[in-house]
Amino acid sequence: MRGLVVLVTLACLATAQHQALIDYLERRLLAIEDRISLWHEQTARYASELRELKQQMVSQLENLDKEKETLRMNLDGVGTRVDRVERELDYLETQNGAQPCVDVDDKLIEQQVTLVEEKQKAKYSKHSDCSDMISTIKAMKILKRVGGPKGMWTKDTSRSSGKVYVFNGTEEDTVYEFGSVQDFTRSAGLSLSTELTLPSAWAGTGHVVYNSYVYYVRQEEEVMVAKYDIKSRSMTDSAVFPVQDHVPVYSLSPETVMDLAVDEEGLWAIYSTRQNDRHISLAKVDAVSLDIEQMWDTNCPRENAEGAFVICGTLYVVYNTKQPGRSRVQCVFDVNDVMVSEEAPLVYFPKRYGSHASLKYNPQEQLLYAWDDGYQILYKLIMKKKLEI
C-alpha cells in the first residue's frame, strides 16, 4: 500500500515538473515571438527610412547635377567673355599706344576738316583696269529660305575660296559658314554649317567677307568697322569711322547705319550723315589698315533706298518702286566721272517678295547675293563697257 502511495506521489511530481517545463517553454516561445515581431517592425521601419533616404539622396543628386550643369554653363560663359576681353585688351595694347592728354585746338580740327575735303575732291586713283557697268539683270535664282526677314548672305570674294557665309538678323554675333553654295542649298536650314562666333555683335546687314576676313559694322557710342580673321578665329583690327552723326544709309533699312561693299577695286563703305541726310555718301577703305583713302558725297537720295553695291568704282543705289514686287537701280555715281550720264542704266530687278535687306556683289562671279524677306536670292548681271567722256 505504501509503495502504491509512493508511486502515485512520484507520478504527481513528474507530472508537475513536466507541466512546469511546458509552461517555461511556452513563456520562452512567447518571448521569442515578441522579439521576432519587434524585429520585423524595426526592419520594416528601417527599410522605409532607407527608401525615404534613398529618394532624398536621388533628388539631391539630381539637383546637384542640374546645379553643376548650370555652373558649368556659367563658367563657360565667363570664360568666353574673359577670352573676348583679353583679345580686346591685347589688341588695344598692340595697336594703340598711350594717347597724350592734350586738348584738341581749333586749328587741328580745321586741319582734319581740310583733309577730309581734300579727299573728297581728289581724283580717285584706280587699282585695276576694270571698266564694266551694268547693262541688265538677266535672271533670278531663289536658292532657299532660312532665317528671319532681315539678314545678309555672301560668298568670300577671294579667288581661292568658295565658302558661303550667312549673317542672320541685324544684331547677332554668330556667322554660319558653308563649304560652298551647293552645301548651303542642300542643307536643312543651317545644319551643315560651321558656326563662327565674333568677338562682338554686328549692327545692321552691311557686312562683307573679303579674302578670308569678315568685315562687319559695330555700333556703340561710335560706328566702327571691325576686321575678323576667319583662319585664326581672332579679331585683327577695328577702327572708328571718322564721321560723326551717322544716320541710316537707306530709309527702308533703318537698322543699317553703314553698308560695306567689295568690288574689283577693293573695300568700300556706303554711309550717310546728319549734315547731308538727304543723300548717300561713299568712302574707299584700305582693307589692310581700315584707313579711309577717299570720300565722296553723291547725289543719290536716301529716300526709298533699300540697298546699294559698287562695281568697278561705280555706286549703284537700288530703290523700291511703287509697282508691287519691283525694285530698280535709279541712281548711279561713278567716282571718276568716266560714265556718260545718258547711259546710266535704269535696271529693274525681277519680281521678288518684299524689300531687299542686303545686296552683295561678287566681282569674281558678277553675281548679286540678295536677302529678301528671309529668301536667299542670286541675281546674274549682264555687263557692258563704260564710255569715257
Q: What pLDDT digit, counting tens, does each position of 254-266 carry?
A: 999 999 999 999 9
**Mean pLDDT for the stretch of residues 141-168:** 91
Average pLDDT over the chain reads: 83
- Among the candidates 73, 95, 117, a domain finishes at 95
Q: Which helix (H) or strand (E) holds 162?
A: none
Do 199 and 74 share a structural domain?
Answer: no
Number of domains in the chain: 2
Per-residue b/e over 224-234, b at no fewer than 16 CB within 10 Å? bbbbbebeeee
**CB-based contact 82:90 (threshold 8 Å):** no
- Could you tell me which residues come within 8 angstroms of residue 297 by beta carbon, excluding any fewer than 6 positions away? 120, 276, 279, 281
Domain of 278? 108-385
In the chain, the N- to C-terminal Cα span, in Å, equals 169
Do 137 and 72 share a structural domain?
Answer: no
59 in a structural domain: yes
CATH number at residue 337: 2.120.10
Rounded Cα gap, residues 127 and 232, in angstroms: 28
Do 336 and 196 share a structural domain?
Answer: yes
Do 160 and 49 share a structural domain?
Answer: no
Rounded Cα gap, residues 128 and 332, in angstroms: 20
**Mean pLDDT for the stretch of residues 65-71:** 82
Residue 18 sits at the vertex; the CA angle it makes with 17 and 22, to the nearest 5 degrees, is: 115
- Say whether pLDDT at 79 is over 80: no
35 in a structural domain: yes
The per-residue pLDDT for 104 is: 41
> Which pLDDT tens digit goes with each residue over 1-37?
666 666 666 667 677 777 788 878 888 888 888 888 8
> Which pLDDT tens digit goes with each residue over 299-351?
999 999 999 999 999 999 999 877 766 788 989 999 887 554 445 567 888 86
62 in a structural domain: yes
**Burial (CB count <10 Å: 0-12, 13-18, 19+), residue 140:** middle
The per-residue pLDDT for 119 is: 52
Do 121 and 90 share a structural domain?
Answer: no
**DSSP 3-state of 36:** helix
**DSSP 3-state of 5:** helix
Do 139 and 223 share a structural domain?
Answer: yes
- Among the candidates 95, 129, 159, a domain finishes at 95
Rounded Cα gap, residues 5 and 351, in angstroms: 136
**Cross-sheet strand order for the sheet of 151-155:** 151-155, 164-168, 174-178, 194-197
The per-residue pLDDT for 272 is: 94
Do 76 and 55 share a structural domain?
Answer: yes
- Could you tell me which residues come within 8 angstroms of residue 113 by beta carbon, excluding any fewer than 6 positions away? none
Listed range (10-14, 75-79, 94-98, 236-240) with the worst mean pLDDT: 94-98
Task: Name the residue among 25, 91, 132 with its Cα closest to residue 229.
Answer: 91
- Could you tell me which residues come within 8 angstroms of residue 365 by beta carbon, excluding any fewer than 6 positions away? 155
**CB-based contact 166:181 (threshold 8 Å):** no
34 in a structural domain: yes
Do 274 and 212 share a structural domain?
Answer: yes
| The three cell numbers locating residue 114 | 581740310
What string of H, E and C letters represents the secondary structure of 74-134? HHHHHHHHHHHHHHHHHHHHHHCCCCCCCCCCHHHHHHHHHHHHHHHHCCCCCCCCCCEEE
133 in a structural domain: yes
Distance of CA 312 to the CA centre of its chain: 30
102 in a structural domain: no
Q: Which residue has the cell 517678295?
A: 353
C-alpha distances (whole Å) from 86 to each of 90, 240, 257 are 6, 20, 28
The per-residue pLDDT for 90 is: 55
**Burial (CB count <10 Å: 0-12, 13-18, 19+), residue 258:** buried
The per-residue pLDDT for 95 is: 47
Rounded Cα gap, residues 304 and 297, in angstroms: 18
Do 317 and 234 share a structural domain?
Answer: yes
Rounded Cα gap, residues 120 and 283, in angstroms: 9
% pLDDT > 90, the chain: 46
**CB-based contact 389:375 (threshold 8 Å):** no
Do 188 and 321 share a structural domain?
Answer: yes
The per-residue pLDDT for 121 is: 53
- Say whether pLDDT at 60 is over 70: yes
Do 149 and 1 share a structural domain?
Answer: no
292 in a structural domain: yes
Rounded Cα gap, residues 168 and 372, in angstroms: 12
103 in a structural domain: no
> Which pLDDT tens digit goes with each residue over 97-112?
444 333 444 554 455 5
Do 146 and 73 share a structural domain?
Answer: no
| Comparison of pLDDT for 231 and 339, the residue scoring more | 231
Task: Name the residue among 184, 178, 110 with its Cα closest to residue 145.
Answer: 184
Which amino acid, one-letter code, is at 41? E
The per-residue pLDDT for 122 is: 59
- Among the candidates 69, 95, 121, a domain finishes at 95
> Which pLDDT tens digit goes with each residue over 219-228?
888 899 999 9
The per-residue pLDDT for 96 is: 46
